[in-house]
Amino acid sequence: MVVQTPAVVSGRTPKPVQIPTRSPWTPPPRRRPLHADCLRVDADRYEVRFGGRVVGFIEIVGPVYVVLAGARRDRAVEIAQSLLFDMAVATLEMQARGD
């Protein structure tokens, strides 16, 4: 701890104030990247798997990739839209990790 003495105000000397020292910054642990398997199941739809498990689907609607989370297409829920396929896959990766 560092002891800092405040300036004297109106003739009386205040008590020294203890300022805590900074703890060293430690970076967060690195996560192993998940490897996605993207299988085109229709002209406008991809099935995305991580670790052999279906985590969602990506549908192509015009220039937009619609991200659907869920193991079954009929029950999957839209969670995002992206203009980049890689971002759509990354969204499903975060969903699979629980981030």
Whether the full predicted model's pTM is greater than 0.75, yes or no, is: no
Higher-pLDDT residue of 30, 59: 59
Rounded Cα distance, 5 and 76, in Å: 62
Give the confidence band of 43 by pLDDT, cuts at 50, 70, 90.
Answer: very high
Give the confidence band of 67 by pLDDT, cuts at 50, 70, 90.
Answer: very high
Percent of the chain exceeding pLDDT 70 equals: 69
Give the confidence band of 36 by pLDDT, cuts at 50, 70, 90.
Answer: confident
Query: Average pLDDT, stretch 21-44?
Result: 76
Residue 27 has pLDDT above 90, yes or no: no
For residue 96, the SS3 value is helix
